Amino acid sequence: MNPRVAVIVRTKDRPEFLARALADIASQTYADAEIVVVNDQGAARPVSDTVAASTVAERVRVVETLAPGGRCAAANLGLRSTDAEFVVLHDDDDRWAPTFLAQTVAHLDAHPVDAGVMTATEIVYERRDGARWVEYGREPFWRGMTSVTFSSLLEVNRAVPISFLYRRALHDEVGYYDESLETVEDWEFYLRVTAVRPLGFLAGEPLAFWTQRPGTVGAEANSMFELSGAHARDDAAVRDAALRDWVARNGAGLPLYLAAMERRLREEFARELEDRLARQREEIVTAIYDRHPVWRRLRHLRRGRKGR
Note the pLDDT tens digit of each residue in 36-55. 999 999 999 999 999 999 99
Lowest-pLDDT range of 34-43, 108-117, 216-225, 259-268: 216-225
Q: Average pLDDT of 275-293?
A: 79
- Whole-number Å distance between alpha carbons of 60 and 92: 14
Classified as helix, coil or strand, 190 is helix
Can you give the pLDDT at residue 169? Answer: 96
- Whole-number Å distance between alpha carbons of 132 and 220: 12
Can you give the pLDDT at residue 228? Answer: 65
Residue among 133, 62, 54, 65 nearest 93 (CA): 133
Note the pLDDT tens digit of each residue in 122-146. 999 999 888 888 999 999 999 999 9
Cβ atoms of 76 and 189 within 8 Å: the answer is no
Can you give the pLDDT at residue 131? Answer: 81
Element containing residue 55 per DSSP (H, E): none
Alpha helices (H) along the chain:
15-26, 44-53, 70-80, 100-110, 150-155, 170-174, 185-194, 223-226, 228-250, 253-291, 293-306
Please give the model's pTM, rounded to 2 decimal places: 0.84
Residue among 15, 111, 106 nearest 54 (CA): 15
* Whether the predicted pLDDT of 306 surpasses 80: no
Can you give the pLDDT at residue 307? Answer: 53
Note the pLDDT tens digit of each residue in 154-175. 999 999 999 999 999 999 999 9
Amino acid at residue number 145: M
Can you give the pLDDT at residue 296? Answer: 61
* Residue 73, C-beta contacts closer than 8 angstroms, at least 6 positions apart: 40, 65, 179
Can you give the pLDDT at residue 305? Answer: 60
* Whether the predicted pLDDT of 301 surpasses 70: no
